[in-house]
Amino acid sequence: MSNPSQKEPFRLDGKAAIVTGGGSGIGRAIVHRFAASGAAVHILDVDPKAADGVVQEVAAAKGIASSSSCDVTDQGNVKATVERVLRERRIDILVNNAGISHVGTLETTTEQDFDRILQVNVKGFYNCMQSMIAHMKGNGGGVILNMASIAGSAGLADRFAYSVSKGAVLAMTYSVARDYLEHNIRCNCISPARVHTPFVDGYLRRNYPGKEEEVFAKLAASQPIGRMAEPEEVASLALFLCSSEASFITGVDYPLDGGFVNLRG
């Protein structure tokens, strides 16, 4: 039997978090989960309309959320936005989630595509972490969670630039975790396999018109567990890693892949 006096696990009461790319997909799910668990969440998103929509959803659910329009590739924009947020409240958690994808091999990836992917998926994470790290040091600690991908550690077909960027996210995670141990700053990452988000639906509509269901089923079956992950499942792991129950965990990459890496046969 449970002890009624036992504290509910994985709560973020009294904590505040910044979630980049919180206007849709995985980011939106993380915002909702964190807010439902007691955190005040501030969304940074290049799409202010989408971010405002999530803020309204959280408010309707009696949670606390706010948002700022922010281009994570622009260091000046990131620094100014973060400074504005920090004037209003202490931030305990940074979730680097904003990212873009790309389909292509080494030969078919243009220089423009390569630069664009690195600007968002690598420099964007760097900009946000650099803007937050002094604040966390000054407050005696914090948590950084980076959204990576199994593409960063497993060979995926036609994902050259995307894989490069997510491999860099792994390296940044390990480096930051090592460098800031003495400052009580934990840094981990999650590496999902395919997650069913609006991006997936849009990709199928653009590239496989009339065959969306067929191709979706094929992509879902590529995970040994037989389906794609849901954004809420990624959010659940994010909540754990940012909670006090995970206080002994840092410098770790968590695959959330339905058996994709180890069980393919």
Number of domains in the chain: 2
- Residues 176 and 213 occupy one common structural domain: no
Tell me the per-residue pLDDT of 140-177, one tens digit each, with 9 for 90 and over: 999 999 999 999 999 888 999 999 999 999 999 999 99
- For tokens 């949670």, what's the residue? 63
Identify whether 180 is a catalytic site residue. Answer: no
Question: What is the Cα–Cα distance from 121 to 110, expressed in whole angstroms?
Answer: 16
Residue 162 lies in a domain: yes
Q: Let me know: does 65 contact 54? Beta carbons within 8 Å.
A: yes
Mean of the per-residue pLDDT values for the chain?
94
* 3-class secondary structure, 114: helix
- Residues 202 and 110 occupy one common structural domain: no
Catalytic-labelled residue, pool 126, 162, 208, 254: 162
Tell me the per-residue pLDDT of 167-193, one tens digit each, with 9 for 90 and over: 999 999 999 999 999 999 999 999 999
CATH of the domain at 53: 3.40.50.720
Q: What is the mean pLDDT of residues 235-254?
A: 98
pLDDT higher than 70, residue 10: yes
Alpha helices in 106-183 (DSSP H): 111-118, 124-138, 160-179
DSSP state of 115: H
Burial of 62 (0-12, 13-18, 19+ CB in 10 A): exposed
pLDDT range class, residue 263, cuts 50, 70, 90: confident
Which pLDDT score is estimated for 155? 83
Proportion of the chain above pLDDT 90, given as a percent: 86
- Residues 211 and 236 occupy one common structural domain: no
Residue 2 lies in a domain: no
- Among 6-20, 72-86, 247-261, the range scoring the smallest mean pLDDT is 6-20
- Residues 207 and 181 occupy one common structural domain: no
Tell me the per-residue pLDDT of 25-52, one tens digit each, with 9 for 90 and over: 999 999 999 999 999 999 999 999 999 9
Domain that holds residue 35: 16-193+230-260
Tell me the per-residue pLDDT of 95-108, one tens digit each, with 9 for 90 and over: 999 999 998 999 99
Strand partners, 188: 145
pLDDT higher than 60, residue 1: no
Question: What is the Cα–Cα distance from 101 to 156, expressed in whole angstroms?
Answer: 13
Residue 208 lies in a domain: yes
Question: What is the Cα–Cα distance from 185 to 80, expressed in whole angstroms?
Answer: 22
Residue 265 lies in a domain: no
